Amino acid sequence: MSVAPWICRSCFRALARRQPRQFLRHASNETLAPSLLQRAVSLKTEHDALRRTLSDSFDAARAKRAAELARVAAALAAWQDAQAAIAELSSMLDDPAQDRDLAAIARDELEAENSRLQSLARDLSVSLTPRHPYADLPCLIEFRPGPGGLEGRYFADAIFKMYKLLCARRGYRCSVLKYELADTAGDQSSAAGEMPLQEAILEVHEPGAYDIFRGEAGMHRVQRIPSTESKGRVHTSAVAVWVLPSFPEVDAADLLDFENPESDFYINPSDVRTETMRARGAGGQHVNKTESAIRLTHVPTNTVVSMQDHRSQQRNRDEAWKTLRMRIADQRREQKEAEAARLRNSVLSKAQITRGDKIRTYNYNQDRCTDHRAGIDVHNLPNVLQGGETLDRVMDAAKEWLVARDVQGVIAEEEASKQ
């Protein structure tokens, strides 16, 4: 049997091309929900329009939106290229006059492109999920023992040390904000050197740490035989883990940078409606006969500021803008604090600190760690508890589960909007 000569991919497609690109519309898109594809096309159209607008005049809000949509546009372009390649290869295989050797190469290429398409479809789906607003922030990881008595406190210390060792291995900067032992247990430690932990807080200073660790929040269950158990019975305990965004202290200069869209004091001028009017009350004829008073309305929040204390309209305008920025900044700080409290309560409430609401189980007898959301089992439990590579596998699986859940949420949202 003759062996097909080697030929590079570009030359191969150039020689074998028989059909124009209209076959793209026949390419299979079974790996991508139609609602997601429609959303991606719509967002890419918006991205391209923003890029054209920004080429004429710069606007901070439009530039930020274009940057947010850039990953969708890039993912869609890569997916469309793969679709085009598959359509081209399929048309070559459907051609009865096609050279046998070239057809054999086309089959191999088609298999590789189909595999690549699945990966690109997943990347496109992920790009369509809204990025968590605190994804780029550092985080706080809180540990508190649940049911299980002294054994639960020992395991809380084991989980605390696990994440601390993980940070050390990955090179993440972290610090212990709180490490409090149970008063009733004294300094008594377990056979493994675990301390009876009452509560601990670990701050991970790495930017993006919240996105890395947010999948770890929930109830962690342990099944093992305590060193004090004389009859060899397996005890079940639980540890509650919270993961919260850590808002870094902002430099005063950055905080007061009114032109920085990241500042709490930034207000897009296009969001403000300005009205001039005659001032009322005492102040002489100039105040009463000229439109020196200013009223600013921040349309998105319906925040209204009026200023008429000065004879000069410009001075009233400056004072009104200063007051409006302070009010909007105060609202944004309150929203952040409320969101942090909501996140903490949504992760775990006191009623949820039970062994039955577990997200993960650490079984010592079976040398096994199971993530119940992702449905993954890994062995080599000592490596997990030492923050090793096996823990990486578990955390990656949990992150995949979170992404899949977000994708399903986007699909449901798109389908609901069409009804």
Range with lowest mean pLDDT among 70-74, 96-100, 114-118: 96-100
- pLDDT for 27 equals 36
Distances (CA, A) of 44 to 69, 169, 199, 206, 410: 7, 39, 47, 32, 16
Q: Are residues 202 and 166 in the same domain?
A: yes
103 within domain boundaries: yes
Q: Are residues 190 and 232 in the same domain?
A: yes
Q: Are residues 333 and 184 in the same domain?
A: no
Q: Are residues 42 and 103 in the same domain?
A: yes
**Does this model's pTM top 0.75?**
no
DSSP symbol at 362: E
Instruction: Name the range with the highest mean pLDDT among 174-178, 275-279, 384-388.
Output: 384-388
pLDDT classification of 11: cutoffs 50, 70, 90 = low
Strand runs (DSSP E) across 182-271, as ranges?
Answer: 197-204, 218-224, 235-245
280 within domain boundaries: yes
Question: Of the candidates 29, 53, 233, which has an alpha carbon nearest to the alpha carbon of residue 124?
Answer: 29
Strand runs (DSSP E) across 87-209, as ranges?
Answer: 139-145, 174-181, 197-204
* SS3 label, residue 50: helix
Residue span of the structural domain in which 123 resides: 34-128
Q: Contact 239/144 with Cβ under 8 angstroms?
A: yes
Domain boundary among 310, 345, 380: 345
Q: Please count the residues of the chain.
A: 419
pLDDT classification of 313: cutoffs 50, 70, 90 = confident
User: What is the mean pLDDT of the segment spanning 135-139?
Assistant: 87
14 within domain boundaries: no
Question: Of the candidates 90, 76, 92, 85, which has an alpha carbon nearest to the alpha carbon of residue 40?
Answer: 76
CATH of the domain at 229: 3.30.70.1660
353 within domain boundaries: no
27 within domain boundaries: no
Q: Is the pLDDT of residue 230 over 90?
A: no
263 within domain boundaries: no
The residues near 343 (Cβ < 8 Å, ≥ 6 apart) are 244, 245
- pLDDT for 2 equals 46
93 within domain boundaries: yes
Range with lowest mean pLDDT among 23-27, 184-188, 216-220, 261-265: 23-27
Within 10 angstroms of residue 266's Cβ, the number of other Cβ atoms is: 17
Q: Are residues 238 and 364 in the same domain?
A: yes
pLDDT digits (tens, 9 = 90+) for 360-384: 999 999 999 999 999 999 999 999 9
Structure-token pair, residue 45: 């159209």
Separation CA 8–CA 15 (nearest Å): 11
Q: What string of H, E and C letters represents the secondary structure of 314-358?
A: HHHHHHHHHHHHHHHHHHHHHHHHHHHHHHHHHHCCHHHCCHHHE
CATH of the domain at 281: 3.30.160.20
Q: Are residues 370 and 237 in the same domain?
A: yes
Separation CA 9–CA 104 (nearest Å): 13
Domains identified in the chain, total number = 3
Separation CA 266–CA 248 (nearest Å): 18
Distances (CA, A) of 297 to 258, 302, 328: 17, 6, 11
Q: Are residues 244 and 373 in the same domain?
A: yes
Instruction: Name the range with the highest mean pLDDT among 259-263, 314-318, 348-352.
Output: 314-318
Q: Are residues 201 and 290 in the same domain?
A: no
Phi-psi region of 375 (alpha: psi -120 to 50; beta: other; left: phi over 0): left
Q: Are residues 152 and 241 in the same domain?
A: yes
Distances (CA, A) of 212 to 14, 76, 246, 345: 44, 25, 13, 20
Domain boundary among 292, 317, 345: 345
Q: Are residues 218 and 287 in the same domain?
A: no
Q: Are residues 151 and 243 in the same domain?
A: yes
Q: Are residues 83 and 119 in the same domain?
A: yes
pLDDT digits (tens, 9 = 90+) for 233-273: 888 999 999 888 887 665 545 555 667 776 777 888 888 99
Q: Tell which wins on pLDDT, 222 or 353.
A: 222
5 within domain boundaries: no
Domain boundary among 79, 97, 128: 128
